[in-house]
Structure 1
């Protein structure tokens, strides 16, 4: 179910009402209905929330991620505007269909609309089943393209369940689309069964262990990312906040031990997002119910802030 943006989320400190160099995002955000027609040329950034944790429930995770999109927007609202770029909040999609797949299809169609309208589309979760919905929208927008899926995550999320959950998105993509490939950065050995590693080998999934990303990104890993981007027409980029150590991101559906430091994730993203092939970025699994002092929501908002081109 699609719901329009909640304007009351966008509040913050006013440093000036006239000097644009002192504005914060809540002073410049624009609100749009994704269902309304638009004749404008492609520009700016679209934001769409996936206020859904049904996939997390089906994956036996901690509920609360459906509150993530609004928490992220609230924390992003007060951050300063540092780039002249129009940002549009399209509101959220909630789960009210009979199946999760129907909600993902609805969301995916709105994603395709945002891709057609904007230079960047930011998708705020919600469970990581947002990734399959993101893929549906990407494929709708680019029906003949080779899609490279890059995921910064502690988990492969390639479970075989026979239905959508927060742990199945990337298997669904690979099983349905012969013109899509998958690269995961931040995999933890303790977070994935041997069967998932076997599936990765079977499907030629590229992956980098979290242990290889503890302090810096080595030249071979940089080359791996650059080659993957080069080999595809379109890049679908997604981050699961549970890849980050729980000291920095306690408010997630499955908190991480020995996770990545936030600056490593930022550095990885800098290798990916500036490429013109990247039109959608999703950030999944922010769960305010388990957050501490809005630590995770603030971190997600800062990621978003840094990712705007």
Structure 2
């Protein structure tokens, strides 16, 4: 298979502590299977076996165009490192590293097309794509790959944990990390497909009135960050479940700038009053993971150059752990 912008898994991408080779002592770096997609396909899955394929998206060109602080291009490397020492609490399933799609120079659109083709390839192999960003420009290529796989008749919903709508129209510089969902809406409108979009954690002070108007015009749903309080638990869960019920599949994307700055300092745009990754957030996150409809998911905006004590990388890794455990043990 010939892939554009493709980098095979690094030989030293997964390293960590070794307590032994017994099943009860294994860690992710000991069981993950690096796969160079240009040389061989993902391992065939046996009946009843599940597979997850990690795929990096090394890009912050969209962040640069969006006038943000660059550095998220190094996110996939940092996230792999943060995940390496996780203990293996599953058996009989396949955890694979499918490499990285890298934005070369300023060729963001080329990289997004390559990402879409690779996501489609992962889904065709029967694997769940779990993508490591990279800026939130990851969303356009990821969703496009899911759309290519399921076709125009599928009711695929998008759930985005984010402080921002990312519904800006592209300017003279082209697409950016803030335009992904506007682009998806345009593509779906052209294909006469519905645009099912739920944004969770929206901050009023981080979005212009124009963006709220655009969300309304597109029929997008959103729940503000201020609603993420324990007293609104049932309302939050109910809204997420109601959205999921209207769809056949869910694409879940998490922009790390949705979290409060003490928990996620390593992002382009920090939020002093963002979400707290507590039991309430996890209930909402797990509601999506346990829906049985997840088609693909990604973590965006991890910027190691701005991180402190690897707090953001560790938070991102904990979300990946939740994704893997809920998928393999569901």
State the TM-score bracket (shorter-chain normalisation). Answer: over 0.9
Where in structure 2 are the equivalents of 1:75-154 lying within 5 Å? 75-84=82-91, 85-96=93-104, 99-143=107-151, 144-154=153-163
Indicate whether 1:160 and 2:169 are aligned: yes
Residue-pair matches, total: 308
In structure 1, how many angstroms separate the alpha carbons of the residues matched to 2:281 and 2:26? 27
Structure 2 match to 1:258: 273
Cα shift at 1:216: 5.8
Structure 2 match to 1:278: 294
SS in 1 for 2:282: helix
Contact preservation (8 Å) 2:195, 2:218: no
Contact preservation (8 Å) 2:68, 2:268: yes
1:21-51 CA deviation, whole Å, 9 max, x = no partner?
A: 1111011010112343457247311000001
Where in structure 2 are the equivalents of 1:12-31 lying within 5 Å? 12-17=16-21, 19-31=22-34
1:78-121 CA deviation, whole Å, 9 max, x = no partner?
A: 11111223110011111126631111010111011112224421
Contact preservation (8 Å) 1:119, 1:279: no
Cα shift at 1:65: 0.2
SS in 1 for 2:251: strand
Structure 2 match to 1:199: 214
Cα shift at 1:13: 1.0
In structure 2, how many angstroms separate the alpha carbons of the residues matched to 1:188 and 1:287? 21
Distance 1:16 1:216, change over 3 A: farther
* Moved segments of 4+, more than 6 Å: none
* 2:9 aligned residue (1, 5, 12): 5
1:134-183 CA deviation, whole Å, 9 max, x = no partner?
A: 11100111113111000000000001124210000001111210333110
Q: Which runs of 5+ in 1 are unaligned?
A: none
* 2:180 aligned residue (169, 183, 192): 169
Contact preservation (8 Å) 2:228, 2:281: no
TM-score normalised to structure 1 length: 0.95
Where in structure 2 are the equivalents of 1:210-289 lying within 5 Å? 210-215=225-230, 217-263=232-278, 264-289=280-305
In structure 2, how many angstroms separate the alpha carbons of the residues matched to 1:295 and 1:14? 23
Indicate whether 1:306 and 2:300 are aligned: no
TM-score normalised to structure 2 length: 0.90
Distance 1:250 1:114, change over 3 A: same
